Structure 1
Amino acid sequence: MGRQELSLNISAGVASVTVAVTLVVLKLWALGATSSLSVAASLADSALDLMMSLGGLTAILYAARPADEDHAFGHSSVEDLAALAQSVFILISGAVIGVSAVRRLLADAPPALAAEGRGIAIMAVSIVLTFALVLWQRRVARRTRNRVVAADSLHYMSDLVPAVGAILALWASSRFGIGQVDSVVALGAAVLLVIGALRIGKGAWDALMDRRADPALIEAIGALARAWPGVRGYHDLKTRMAGHRVFVNIHIELDGDQSLREAHAIGAGLRRKIIETYAHCDVIVHKDVADES
C-alpha cells in the first residue's frame, strides 16, 4: 500500500471516529431531553459506530504493518477479532432496546416524550454529518479499494434509517401525541441491530475459522489462471480470509522442459495479474510439471 493510499485511509478513519464521537454526545443530550426510545436506539447505533470506527482505524494502522517473524501472514486478523466483539455488543444493545420497547408498548401509561423539537433538530444534524462522512468514505474507498473503509461507509449508510425513524417518532409525538410510535420505531431498530450483529458476527467467525473466500472470487481467479499464457492447467486452488485480506494458494501446471527462469516468469506474471485485479488478495503460486499423458 502506497503512502498516499494509507494517508487517505487514515483520514477516512479519523473522520469516522470524529463524527461518531460528535453523534454520541449529541444523542446523549437528546435522549436526556426527550426520553425517546427511538433516540436511544439511534444512540446505541452511534455508540456501536464509535466502537467500529475505532476498531477500523486501529485495524487500518495495525494491518498496514508488514509481516514479521511472529506474523508471517500479516496482522489483518485483528479486524475479525474486533468485529466479533462488536457483534456481541450489538446483540446486547438490540436486546435491551427491544425489551424496553415492548414494555412501553404494554404499559398502561407509557412515559410521555418531551422536548421533541430539540430532539428532531439533533437527529437532523446527525443525518447531515453522517451523509457527509459517507460521501468522503466512498471517495476514499474508490481510490484505495480498502474494504475496511468501504464496510464502514456501508454501515453508516444503514444508520440513516433509525435516525429518520427517530425524527418521525418525535414528530408524531409532538404533532398528534402518539407516543407509541416511538416504541414501534425503537423495536424495529432493535431488530435491525440484531440482524446486523448476526451478519457481522458470522463474517468474523467465518474468517477466524479459515472459511474459503466468495466462490465468485475463486472462480474468477481460476479463470485468470486458465487463460494465462504458458499455464496448461491448475489445481489445489485454496483460499482463506483474514480481515479484509484474502490469502490465495494455487498450483499451476507448466511444461516440464522449459527453463526454471521461464517457469518463474509465468508464475510471477500470473501472481501480479491476480493482485492487480484483486488488490485485497495475497497470492502464492506453486509450479508443477504438467501431466504429459
Structure 2
Amino acid sequence: MAGQKNTRLNISAGLASVAVAATLVALKLWALGLTSSLSVAASLADNALDLMMSLGGLLAILYAARPADEDHAFGHTSVEDLAALAQSVFIAVSGTVIAWAATARLLGLMESRIAAQGQGIAVMGLSVLLTLMLVLWQRRVARRTGSRVVAADSLHYLSDLLPTLGAIGALWASQRFGLAHVDSVVALASAAILLVGSMRIGKGAWDALMDRTADPDLVEAIAAIARDWPGVRGFHDLKTRMAGSRVFVHIHIELDGDQSLRDAHAIGAGLRRKIILTYPQCEVIVHKDVAGES
C-alpha cells in the first residue's frame, strides 16, 4: 500500500514537472523574442532541457513502478538512477554552452543588445512563481518517497531560481542604467550554478549504480532496530545498496537454536515488518543463523 502511494506521488511530481517546464519554455521563448536577452536565452535553454529531461524522468518513474519479473528479480528502480545520470550530463552541457555564449558577449565577440525589458521582467517573475510552486511539491514528494529522479528534478528547478532572479536583475539594470553587460555576467554565474548542480546529481546517481551503501544514518537506525528486537541475540553482515528510490537491506540475525522453526520465523518476519514500516523505501531480506555458530 505504501509503495503504491509513493508511486502515485512520484507520478504526480513527474506530471507537474512536465507541465511547468512546457509552460516556462513557451513563456521564455516569447520573452526572448521581445528582449534578445542572453540571460533569458540561458534560462530558456535550461527549461527546454528541463522539459526533455522531465519527460524522460516521468517515463523512468513509470518504468520503475513496474513490479519485479523473471528478468528483473529486484525490480526496475535502477532506471531512476540512469535517468538522473542522464540529467546531470545534459545539465553540464547546458551550463557549458551558456558559459561560452556569456564569455563571447563579454569579450565583444557577440552583440549584446536588450529590448522590451519590462515585459521580460514580467515573464520572468511569473516563471519564478511557477518554479517555486513546483519545487515545493517536488521536495515534499522526494522526502516521502526517496525518489532520486524527483530529487534531481527538484534540485535542477531550484537551481533555476537564482538564474531567473538574476535575469530579472539584468533586465532591470539594462532598462534603468543601460548596463547590457550585466546580462552576460548573470548568465555566466548561472552556468556555474548549473555545473555544480550537475556534479551533485551525477555523483548521487553514480553511487547508486555502483551499489554504494545507503546513508550511514539509515544503516545505523536499521542496526538499532535489529539490536533491540525481541528474540534476536545478535546480528552480522548488515549490507545495504541503493537502486533508484529503493534501498535493499540484507541482514543475518542470530537466534536461539533450540526454539521451534515457527518461533524463529516469527522473530525474523516481525523484524522485517518493523524495518519496512519504519522505512517504507526498504526491501528487506532476513537470514536466520544459530547464535554462536555463525
When normalised by structure 1's length, the TM-score is 0.92
Partner residue of 1:130? 131
Partner residue of 1:42? 43
Partner residue of 2:199? 198
CA distance 1:208–1:5, shift in 2 (3 Å): closer
Instruction: Tell me whether 1:276 sits opposite 2:277 in the alignment.
Output: yes
Partner residue of 1:228? 229
Question: How far 1:156 moved relative to its partner?
Answer: 2.5
Question: How far 1:136 moved relative to its partner?
Answer: 3.6
Letter paired with 2:48: A
CA distance 1:5–1:200, shift in 2 (3 Å): closer
CA distance 1:4–1:241, shift in 2 (3 Å): closer
Aligned residue runs from structure 1 range 58-69, under 5 A = 58-69=59-70
When normalised by structure 2's length, the TM-score is 0.92
Contiguous gaps of at least 5 residues in structure 1? none
- Contact 1:51 1:86 (C-alpha < 8 Å) held by counterparts: no
Question: How far 1:88 moved relative to its partner?
Answer: 1.4
| Cα separation, 2, equivalents of 1:180 and 1:16 | 32
Letter paired with 1:255: D
| Cα separation, 2, equivalents of 1:283 and 1:219 | 15
Aligned residue runs from structure 1 range 1-293, under 5 A = 1=1, 5-107=6-108, 110-138=111-139, 140=141, 146=147, 148-291=149-292
| Cα separation, 1, equivalents of 2:84 and 2:13 | 18
Query: What secondary structure, in the 3-state scheme, does the structure 2 residue paired with 1:193 have?
Result: helix
| Cα separation, 2, equivalents of 1:28 and 1:222 | 53
Question: How far 1:159 moved relative to its partner?
Answer: 2.0
| Cα separation, 2, equivalents of 1:81 and 1:196 | 17
Question: How far 1:145 moved relative to its partner?
Answer: 5.9
Question: How far 1:102 moved relative to its partner?
Answer: 1.4
After alignment, is 108-117 or 211-220 more displaced? 108-117
Query: What secondary structure, in the 3-state scheme, does the structure 1 residue paired with 2:258 have?
Result: coil
| Cα separation, 2, equivalents of 1:50 and 1:108 | 30
- Contact 1:83 1:201 (C-alpha < 8 Å) held by counterparts: yes
Letter paired with 1:91: A
Question: How far 1:95 moved relative to its partner?
Answer: 0.8
Letter paired with 1:107: G
Question: How far 1:177 moved relative to its partner?
Answer: 0.5
Question: How far 1:142 moved relative to its partner?
Answer: 6.1
| Cα separation, 2, equivalents of 1:85 and 1:7 | 23
CA distance 1:109–1:283, shift in 2 (3 Å): closer
Letter paired with 1:39: V
CA distance 1:272–1:177, shift in 2 (3 Å): same
| Cα separation, 2, equivalents of 1:91 and 1:135 | 24
Question: How far 1:154 moved relative to its partner?
Answer: 4.2
| Cα separation, 2, equivalents of 1:223 and 1:61 | 34
| Cα separation, 2, equivalents of 1:153 and 1:87 | 13
- Contact 1:55 1:79 (C-alpha < 8 Å) held by counterparts: no
CA distance 1:210–1:221, shift in 2 (3 Å): same
Letter paired with 1:62: Y
> How high is the sequence identity, in percent, across the aligned residues?
75
After alignment, is 63-72 or 211-220 more displaced? 211-220
| Cα separation, 2, equivalents of 1:75 and 1:240 | 14
| Cα separation, 2, equivalents of 1:100 and 1:150 | 29
CA distance 1:260–1:58, shift in 2 (3 Å): same
Summarize deviations over 1:126-160 as a string: whole Å, max 9, x none.
Answer: 11211222344455556656554455334423322
| Cα separation, 1, equivalents of 2:88 and 2:150 | 18
Query: What secondary structure, in the 3-state scheme, does the structure 1 residue paired with 2:169 have?
Result: helix
Letter paired with 2:112: P
| Cα separation, 2, equivalents of 1:67 and 1:108 | 55
- CA root-mean-square deviation: 2.2
Letter paired with 1:33: L
Summarize deviations over 1:182-240 as a string: whole Å, max 9, x none.
Answer: 11111111001111111111111111111111111111111111111111111111111
- Contact 1:134 1:153 (C-alpha < 8 Å) held by counterparts: yes
- Contact 2:238 2:251 (C-alpha < 8 Å) held by counterparts: yes
